[in-house]
């Protein structure tokens, strides 16, 4: 198997960060959820807050990942490669990966709306949207890796 | 995946240019090494600006560095 380049390792590290961050965050949120006694109204508020907080958590974890990768790479190779810097090839890949993210997210969002329209189980509905965000992020990272390997 | 019809002689030109590395060429035209790898393998067609930059590094004309080879029936 061909050795992975640094640019190809980036989406792999990003994928691992996404999964680890989500798992840790979801475990923390579930613990909180079990402890609380919620009415339908407060449960909606709780899960809405969970989703709103998840977005900056993902952003911060990705920023920390880029900083760590840049530092580790500088220590190993002695080169100052910025992992967040994209050239025209990187930007094209980023656009295509983001497009795939939105395609998956739209499907999940429609499932979320359907669950609200037909059953209105708050826990299931909001978990659908939470896992939609996770799966979309995974698809984006895998797409980036795929396009990096196979070209665009 | 769209088929790229652009091929290049970058690998050969690098070799004849003091065995320039992919990283050195990437730094010279301000892209990542991965982009040079993708262009050399024919997996990515560079923008016109990048193509001109690469040709200028080797002091060649654009058509001496890049070739356009469409399949039969396509133009």
Contacts of B42 in chain A (CB under 8 A): 151
- Can you give the pLDDT at residue B47? 94
Q: Do residues B51 and B62 touch, judged by C-beta distance below 8 A? A: yes
Contacts of A6 in chain B (CB under 8 A): 33-34
d(CA A55, CA B74) in angstroms, rounded, equals: 46
d(CA A25, CA A5) in angstroms, rounded, equals: 30
In a domain? residue B18:
yes
A 10 A CB-CB count for A122 gives 20
In a domain? residue B70:
no
* Residue in B31, B32, B38 nearest the CB of A151: B38
* Residue in B1, B33, B46 nearest the CB of A150: B1
Q: Do residues A58 and A21 touch, judged by C-beta distance below 8 A? A: yes
In a domain? residue B35:
yes
Distance from CA of A69 to the nearest CA of B (A): 16
Full residue range of the structural domain in which residue B41 is found: 6-62
Ordered DSSP codes for A79-91? ----TT---HHHH
pTM for this entry: 0.83
d(CA A147, CA B3) in angstroms, rounded, equals: 13
d(CA B50, CA B29) in angstroms, rounded, equals: 7
Q: What is the CATH number of the domain that holds B58?
A: 1.10.260.40
Distance from CA of A86 to the nearest CA of B (A): 8
Task: Tell me how many domains chain B contains.
Answer: 1
In a domain? residue B68:
no
Distance from CA of B1 to the nearest CA of A (A): 7
* Residue in B30, B38, B42 nearest the CB of A89: B38
pLDDT digits (tens, 9 = 90+) for A29-62: 999 998 888 888 889 999 999 999 999 999 999 8
Burial class (CB in 10 A: 0-12, 13-18, 19+), A18: buried
B-chain residue closest to A84, CA distance: B32
Distance from CA of A151 to the nearest CA of B (A): 4
In a domain? residue B23:
yes
DSSP 3-state assignment of B8? strand
Contacts of B38 in chain A (CB under 8 A): 89, 151
Beta-carbon-side half-sphere exposure of residue A49 (alpha carbons within 13 Å):
9
- Count Cβ neighbours within 10 Å for each residue of A54-76 and write b for 16 or more, e otherwise: beeebeebbeebbeebbeebeee
C-alpha distance from residue A52 to each of A20, A48, B57 (Å): 18, 6, 49
In a domain? residue B24:
yes
Residue with the two structure tokens 């900083």: A67
Q: Do B34 and A8 touch (CB under 8 A)?
A: yes
Per-residue pLDDT of chain A (152 residues; tens, 9 = 90+): 566 677 778 888 889 999 999 999 999 999 999 888 888 888 999 999 999 999 999 999 988 888 888 888 788 877 776 666 788 999 999 999 999 999 999 999 999 999 988 877 888 999 999 999 999 999 999 999 999 888 88
Contacts of B43 in chain A (CB under 8 A): 150-152
In a domain? residue B75:
no
């Amino acid at each position: 198997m061909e050795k992975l380049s640094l640019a190809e390792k980036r989406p792999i590290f990003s994928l691992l960060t996404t999964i680890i961050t989500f798992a840790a965050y979801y475990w923390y949120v579930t613990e909180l959820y079990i402890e609380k006694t919620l009415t339908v109204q407060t449960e909606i508020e709780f899960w809405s807050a969970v989703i709103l907080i998840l977005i900056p958590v993902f952003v911060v974890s990705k920023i920390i990942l880029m900083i760590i990768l840049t530092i580790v790479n500088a220590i190993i190779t002695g080169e100052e490669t910025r992992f967040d810097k994209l050239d025209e090839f990187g930007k094209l890949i980023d656009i295509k990966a983001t497009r795939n993210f939105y395609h998956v997210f739209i499907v999940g969002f429609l499932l979320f709306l359907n669950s609200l329209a037909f059953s209105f189980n708050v826990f299931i509905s909001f978990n659908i949207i939470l896992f939609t965000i996770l799966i979309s992020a995974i698809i984006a990272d895998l797409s980036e890796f795929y396009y990096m390997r196979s070209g665009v | 995946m769209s088929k790229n019809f652009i091929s290049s002689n970058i690998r050969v030109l690098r070799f004849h240019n003091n065995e320039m590395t992919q990283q050195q060429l990437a730094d010279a035209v301000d892209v990542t090494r991965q982009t040079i790898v993708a262009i050399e393998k024919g997996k990515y067609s560079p923008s016109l600006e990048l193509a001109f930059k690469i040709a200028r590094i080797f002091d060649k004309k654009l058509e001496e560095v890049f070739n356009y080879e469409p399949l039969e029936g396509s133009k």
